[in-house]
Amino acid sequence: MPTVSVVLPTYNRAELLPGSIASILDQDFRDLELLIVDDGSTDDTFDVIENIRAQDSRLRYIRLPENRGIGFARNAGQQHVSGKYIAHADSDDLWLTGKLRAQVDALEKHPEIEILFGDFWNIDHLRGTSARAFEQKKVGMQHLLVRHLEGDLYVVDSGLEVGILRKVYVQLGTVLLRADVLRKVGGFDVTLSGAEDLDFCWRAAVLKAKFAYLDRPLVERHKFETSVTANFSTLVGQVAVVLRKCRQESMRLRRHDLLPHIHAAEHRLWRRLIRRYCERGERRRVLWAYGKSLRHGFSLRTFVFCLLGMAGSPALSTAMELRARLIRPS
């Protein structure tokens, strides 16, 4: 039985798979199995995997008969894992050297840690940008109450279920978790494909799983035109579903303190969509998105966003830049 089981779902990414697989199998921590879950691919995925599997027996292939989405594929892979620890990877991401060794060492030394994540390089090939994610998402991470354990390892004492609603700073490709966490949290929502990581991590935080993080990049996260997160409109719909689930779970657990944060996240989501439609000059879609936002109640800021969106992208961009200058530290 390997120490680590890695689950990698894929769908028609044959050209990217060799690099992603190599970054996992070439880790200096080698006691692992890599489960490739083929979510009904119709390209050369099978041939690519067979060629690699002939050279490395740690690779296992699981083929699903039809495309069901990332959440379903991740769950399917988890049913076959045998490792003490479980990691998840994506076919368009690359693990950095030493990722797995550092995480296994941390979990072995600190048994109180159940879920360990880390920083990552956010590389957007559509916009031509590259940045450290923790810096990009510090508005969310500032909600965390953390303790320094050693080196670049920090344990999260509280705040993750609030901060992650502000900015999603836990990227599933950086996560290593103990296998028994799945019994506490459950698996992934099989209806989600793109926001399943937010749903899983938020649920884990609310159910008191112990998180920690390494303050160093562990993964290169590459965003291409074919990436699931590139389809922003679809992703908004997925996140809206997750936020509705968050509201229901908060009510069930009597965590009424979370409801204002969920409400604010819902309006931020629709403002982002209004901005995207505004940038594209789709004024009718701006009104449609604003109408959807009213299901969560009236927000003056969202209303102003709608007015500026109807005025056009320059007006909205100017207003946002002015606001940024006003709140920027002197």
Q: Are 179 and 134 in contact (CB under 8 A)?
A: no
Q: Which of 165, 164, 166 is nearest to 175 (CA)?
A: 164
pLDDT computed for residue 226 by the predictor: 67
4-230 in CATH: which number? 3.90.550.10
Within the chain, which residues score under 70 in pLDDT? 226-232, 324-330
DSSP per-residue codes, 42-104: -SSHHHHHHHHHTT-TTEEEEE-SS---HHHHHHHHHTT--SSEEEE--TTEEEPTTHHHHHH
pLDDT computed for residue 328 by the predictor: 54
pLDDT computed for residue 6 by the predictor: 98
pLDDT computed for residue 62 by the predictor: 96
Q: Return the ∠ at Cα 64 (arms to 183 and 202), rounded to 5°.
A: 35
pLDDT computed for residue 233 by the predictor: 72
pLDDT computed for residue 230 by the predictor: 53
Radius of gyration of the chain from Cα atoms?
A: 20
pLDDT computed for residue 228 by the predictor: 61
Domain layout of the chain by residue ranges: 4-230, 255-327
Copy the structure tokens of residue 146. Answer: 């953390």
Q: Are 3 and 31 in contact (CB under 8 A)?
A: yes
Q: Are 108 and 212 in contact (CB under 8 A)?
A: no
pLDDT computed for residue 321 by the predictor: 75
pLDDT computed for residue 330 by the predictor: 39
pTM of the entire structure?
0.90
Rounded CA separation 81/32 (Å): 10
